[in-house]
Chains A and B, each alone.
Chain A
Amino acid sequence: MLQAIHLSKSFGDVQAVIDLSLAVRPGQVVGLLGPNGAGKTTTLRMLAGILTPTSGRVLVGAVELARRPLEGKRRIGFLSGDTQLYQRLSPREMLQYFGRLYEVDPPRLARRIDELVAELDMTEFASRPCGTLSSGQKQRANIARAFLHQPDVLILDEPMAALDVVTGRFIAESIRRERAQGRAILFSTHVMGEAEYLCDRVTLLHRGRVVDAGTVEELLARSGCRNLTDAFLAHVGAAG
């Protein structure tokens, strides 16, 4: 269970996120939708414990992230579209490194890495330096890193950005598989089709504020539109 309670974040005079609240239950995929600059990345970084909120709280299960950051972070897997890998390490070495940082038992870690390498079809490139991998291969290695410690919560920041259709679909299927295993998944995108395909609930974000939230059907019903893109544009127009 991931909960954001009245979160706000300012950078100097700029208010990036204003009074944002949302909740993701286990086995649920929640989409955070918004145009570029809406505050999606800042929100996800606060939820992942990378940024400290100016005000508000983040709860990961019963753990308050600001008070017990290490414990909270241990329950979160974070992945972003622009996250890169260590160029001079192989995916296997990188997974071992993060496994140790997450304090996974060595025998369990070795098993888990083998499992992920097979599951994500990484056998061919798992021992090559990450600097030599294609962007699709890199994103698979990244997914493996985020899923490695089997976190309760997955936070995915535009995970399918700049990927080809095949890899995009592969990642979407991985997300669905994780949902089936009972993980709480929050993911951001500005591609409405992805949200319609994956999300149980959607939160629309514009200029740092939540402008609407609910299931896709609820959002469509409230806006009277036929698809999420039109619904979103209607909200953006209303919000000015």
Chain B
Amino acid sequence: MRGAIIRTIFRKELLETLRDRRTLLMMIGLPVVLYPMMIIAVSWFQQSQAEKREERSSVVAVWGDIAQPLLEALKRSGKLTLRRWDTADAGLQAQLRDPASRPAPTIMAADGGRSRGSATEVENPVLAAARIAVTRRGVDAVLVLWPDLAQALEAEGLGSVSVYYDSIQPDSQLARERLLDALARFRAALVSAREREHELAPGFATAMNILSRNVASERRRGAEILGMLLPFILIVMSLLGGLYPAIDLTAGEKERGTMQTLMCAPVSAEEIILGKFLTVWTIALITALANIVSLAATLTRIVPGVNLSLPLSSYVLTFAMLVPVTFITSALFLAVAAFARDFKDGQNFLMPVYMVLAMPAVLTMLPGVQIGAVTAFVPIVNVALLIKAVLVSEAPADFVFLTLLSSAAYAGLAILLAARVFQQEQVLLGGRQSITYLLGLDRRPGRRPGPTLAIVSFAVILVAVFYGSVLLQRSGTVVTVLVTEYGFFLLPTLLFVAWFGFGWRDTLSLRMPPVRALVGSALVGLSAWTLAAGVLIRLLPPPDSLTRALEKLLLLDRTSVPLGVVWLVVAVTPAICEELYFRGFALTGLRRLGPAGAIVISALLFGLAHASIYRLLPTAVLGLLFGVAVWRTGAIACSILAHALNNGLIVTMIWAPQYFEWLGVGKGTFLPWTTTALGCAVAALGVMLILSVPQVRKGVGSN
């Protein structure tokens, strides 16, 4: 691939796209106009509604006999228009005047009525009549003064009043607030009059004032509001920015007949797709930036009375979060749009994709939905939730890592799919191609997997492991480890090989290794831990909680099982299951990238599968060593042996630390340098022994 050619294609596509008024309008014009208009309109409307409502007097139907002092107290509020017995028919009036027939206002709320205002009564005639009055008869609220009230006021007893309102109507809500205020003031006056009457100390009856104050700062409250709205809006708008160019650069180009011209030039399909992808991505990023800038300017300058402005760093982080999202969607849009024969076809294809990608982001608008271990793996939604977390300054580092990790995996898949589509001449010239062929998922009996399938299978296994671990979280460690290893690593590996009809021996490197290579692998397995414990964890020390969790896992919840069983579960099982996938299926699939590319990428996948930023480096380095052994010998037994010895040794050290004190294990946070140097020397000797055997001819590296 030539950078100059990709740049040439990118520049030309960008120039042509920027000359298109529709794209410019969508990219910059829409956000520049949309946010100020939207926010001005909403705030103007809200303000005028609030002012109108504030000015308007609330109409309250008063049912029941009202005592003069209470009547005066209600009138004093000045904003209540009282209508005696309004809308109450004769039967209801008679019922409310008869002390014997007073209905008990039974509360139905599950919390026993603790939640004031949201309680619901058991259905009764008064409630039904009040509902009709409030919803249909022009009354904002109904105040029911139960027959015992007047008597209670007179006799210094306890009387009841009920306020019926409709929580959906803002006018009714306001009427309720006004009524409750007026009633509270009346009650406070009544209580203090009674205290005076009985010569009781002020506050005797009230006992205490309950004050409730919001601790969230104004900025955080503003961020919370933005956190609910902003991710959704930004994602929807950024996606929209890339949508039109993706269609124009693929289906549009086919429709105009220029794709053929480009294909007869001396440029490769990869150069074309990269040039076009960079264009779509750039446009999507410019759109995202235009949206953020316009929104920031609007929020800082326009909204009166509410502090919705955020620090610059929040906007910068938000933009950074949109980088992977726009990457994924740009690649996906291009891949899908390439199937379309013309522009209209492209719109028909991409609109459903757009809806499916953007709509789940609506989840962020629900209060309480936050980023977690599961949501961090849902594409687009994870970034939307992370933007929400960034806005309220609560983005946990591990979830940022998981989100970026899963986004990178999805982005990789998307760009591979797009590249694959662009390699199909028939698709580019307006024909059709089967989707299984495009994905590289067609059956190829007797052959071996390719890089696409290696990456696709990794994504499948990664998703299966994570969702599986959610399902298994209540099971014990033994069950979790065994189900994860056999069910989510080994089983999919075997299914992939069987389904596609690949050769078992070649795909999974099922060969007998030379004894020298086995000895070398054993040395690597026995010493590789020193590299992790002595060097790598100094670079990124894991938190104590992770170390403890790992120890707990390795000791199978500290149950009293014999060491042999622990070895079987956490050393031998992962060694077989994980090696058959990573150094078997994946390494073979990646072989076309050359020894360095295949070994490094398979090791990186191995590290990523352990789903923690702290375990990434140590496991990836182990993966490198195991990868070298299998590449050289073409025998999976080498890496299985090394992996099992590595895990087994670590378990034994935790199981019986007293036998390892001479190595300095457990004496400090890190392994002493002497032990580290010794371990590294043994590992190097092991690698040299492995490399001393001749490169196997029909191994992973052969094509």
* Residue ranges of A at the interface with B (Cβ–Cβ < 8 Å): 11, 45, 48-52, 69-71, 73-74, 76, 78, 80, 82-89, 93, 97-98, 100-103, 145
User: Would you call B265 and A83 a contact (CB within 8 A)?
Assistant: no
Q: Which of chain A's residues have a CB closer than 8 A to the CB of B431?
A: 11
In the assembled complex, how far is the CB of residue B110 from the closest CB belonging to chain A, in whole angstroms?
64
- The smallest beta-carbon distance between B534 and chain A, in angstroms, is 49
Residues of A within 8 A of B265 (CB): 73, 98, 101-102
Given contacts A11-B431, A101-B5, contact A48 B19 (CB under 8 A): no
Give me the 4 closest cross-chain CB pairs, A-B, nearest first. Answer: A84-B257, A78-B264, A73-B266, A88-B19
Q: Are B257 and A50 in contact (CB under 8 A)?
A: no
Question: Smallest distance from the beta carbon of A210 to chain B beta carbons, Å?
Answer: 23
Does chain A have a CB within 8 A of B256? yes
B residues 11-35 near A (Cβ < 8 Å) are 12, 15-16, 19-20
Of the candidates B9, B15, B16, B263, which one forms a contact with A50 in the assembled complex, judged by CB atoms under 8 Å apart? B263
Known: A50-B263, A73-B264, A83-B260. A11 touches B16 (CB 8 A): no
Establish whether residues B261 and A83, one from each chain, have CB atoms under 8 Å apart when the complex forms: yes
Given the contacts A50-B425, A97-B12, A80 and B260 also touching, CB distance less than 8 Å: yes
Chain A residues contacting B256 (CB-CB under 8 Å) are 84, 86-87
**Residue of A51, A74, A85 touching B425 (CB-CB under 8 A):** A51
Provide the bound-state CA to CA distance between A45 and B431, in Å.
14
Set of chain A residues within 8 Å of B4, measured between Cβ atoms: 100, 103
What is the bound-complex CA distance between A69 and B423, given in angstroms? 13
Contacts of B15 in A (CB 8 A): 89, 93
Q: Name the contact of B426 in the complex, choosing from A11, A93, A100 (C-beta under 8 A).
A: A11
Alpha-carbon separation in the docked complex, A69 to B266 (Å): 7
Shortest Cβ gap from B7 to chain A (Å): 9
A88 and B268 form a contact (CB under 8 A): no
CA distance A7 to B431 in the complex (A): 21
Give A100 to B267 CA distance when docked, in angstroms: 11
Contact A101 B266 (CB under 8 A): yes
Closest to B431 in A: A11
Contacts of A69 in B (CB 8 A): 266, 268
Which of A85, A89, A101 gathers most chain B CB within 10 Å? A101
B9 contact set on A, CB distance < 8 A = 101
Q: Is B650 located at the chain interface by the 8 A CB criterion? A: no
Residues of B within 8 A of A (CB): 4-5, 8-9, 12, 15-16, 19-20, 256-258, 260-261, 263-268, 425-426, 429, 431
- Select one of B8, B19, B257 contacting A100, CB under 8 A: B8
Interface residues of chain A: helix, strand, loop or mixed (majority): mixed
B672 to chain A, nearest CB (A): 57
Chain B residues near A85 (CB, 8 Å)? 258
Least CB separation from A145: chain B residue: B261
Tell me which of A73, A86, A101 contacts B258 (CB under 8 A): A86
Whether the pair A82, B8 counts as a contact (CB closer than 8 A) is no
Q: Which residues from A are CB-within-8-Å of B16?
A: 86, 88-89
Which A residue's beta carbon lies closest to that of B8? A100
In whole angstroms, what is the CA distance A87 to B252 when docked? Answer: 11
Closest A residue by C-beta to B17: A88
Contact A89 B12, CB 8 Å, known A52-B425, A70-B267, A101-B266: yes
Known A89-B12, A97-B12; judge A70-B260 contact (CB<8 A): no
Inter-chain CA distance A73–B265, complex, in Å, is 6
Closest to B428 in A: A50
Contact indicator A83/B268 (Cβ below 8 Å): no
B258 / chain A contacts, CB cutoff of 8 Å: 83-86
Which A residues lie within 8 Å of B12 (CB)?
86, 89, 93, 97
Look across to chain A and name the residue whose beta carbon is closest to the beta carbon of B20: A88
- CB of A101 within 8 A of CB of B264, answer no
Q: How far is the CA of A74 from the CA of B264 in the complex (A)?
A: 9
- Residues on B with C-beta less than 8 A from A98 are 265
Which chain B positions have C-beta within 8 A of A89? 12, 15-16
Cα distance, A100 to B3, chains bound together (Å): 12
Given contacts A45-B260, A49-B263, 11 further A-B contacts (CB under 8 A): A45-B429, A48-B264, A50-B264, A52-B425, A70-B266, A78-B264, A80-B260, A86-B258, A97-B8, A100-B4, A101-B267
Q: How far apart are B24's CB and chain A's nearest CB, in angstroms?
A: 12
| Closest-CB distance, A200 to chain B (whole angstroms) | 24
**Cα of A73 to Cα of B268 in the assembled complex, Å:** 11
30 CB-based A-B contacts, threshold 8 Å: A11-B426, A45-B260, A45-B429, A48-B264, A49-B264, A50-B260, A50-B263, A51-B425, A69-B266, A69-B268, A70-B267, A73-B266, A78-B261, A78-B264, A83-B261, A86-B12, A86-B256, A86-B258, A88-B16, A89-B16, A93-B15, A97-B8, A97-B12, A100-B4, A100-B5, A101-B9, A101-B265, A101-B266, A102-B266, A103-B266
Q: How far is the CB of A85 from chain B (nearest CB, A)?
A: 7
| Closest A residue to B9 using CB positions | A101
CB distance from A138 to the nearest CB of B (A): 11
A70: B residues at CB distance < 8 A: 266-268
- Give the interface centre of B8, B261, B267, B426 by most chain A CB atoms within 10 Å: B261
With beta carbons under 8 angstroms apart, the residue of B19, B266, B426, B429 that contacts A74 is: B266
Q: Bound complex: CA of A97 vs CA of B256, how far in Å?
A: 17
Residues of the B chain whose Cβ atoms lie less than 8 Å from the Cβ of A88:
16, 19-20
Contacts of A97 in B (CB 8 A): 8, 12
Which residue of B is nearest A82, CB measured? B257
In whole angstroms, what is the CA distance A103 to B266 when docked?
9
Residues of A within 8 A of B429 (CB): 45, 50-51
* Whole-angstrom CA separation of A120 from B267 in the bound complex: 26
Which residue on chain A has the smallest CB distance to residue B425?
Answer: A51
Tell me, in angstroms, the Cα distance from A38 to B3 when the chains sit together: 40
Report the separation of the CA atoms of residues A50 and B4 in the bound assembly, to the nearest whole angstrom: 22
**What distance in Å separates the Cβ of A71 from its nearest Cβ neighbour in chain B?**
7
CB distance from B96 to the nearest CB of A (A): 78
Per the bound structure, the CA–CA distance linking A83 and B16 in Å amounts to: 18
Residues of B within 8 A of A48 (CB): 264
Interface centre among B5, B19, B20, B264 (most CB of A within 10 A): B264
Q: Which residues of B contact A93 (CB under 8 A)?
A: 12, 15
Q: Find out whether the CB atom of B257 lies under 8 angstroms from the CB atom of A83.
A: yes
Residue of A nearest to B256 (CB): A84
Assess whether A101 is in contact with B263, with CB atoms less than 8 Å apart: no
**In the complex, what distance in Å separates the CA atom of A71 from the CA atom of B265?**
10
> With the chains together, A83 CA to B263 CA distance in Å?
12
When chains A and B are docked, how far (Å) is the Cα of A97 from the Cα of B11?
9
Cβ–Cβ contact B257 & A101, under 8 A:
no
A100 to B20, CA, bound (A): 23
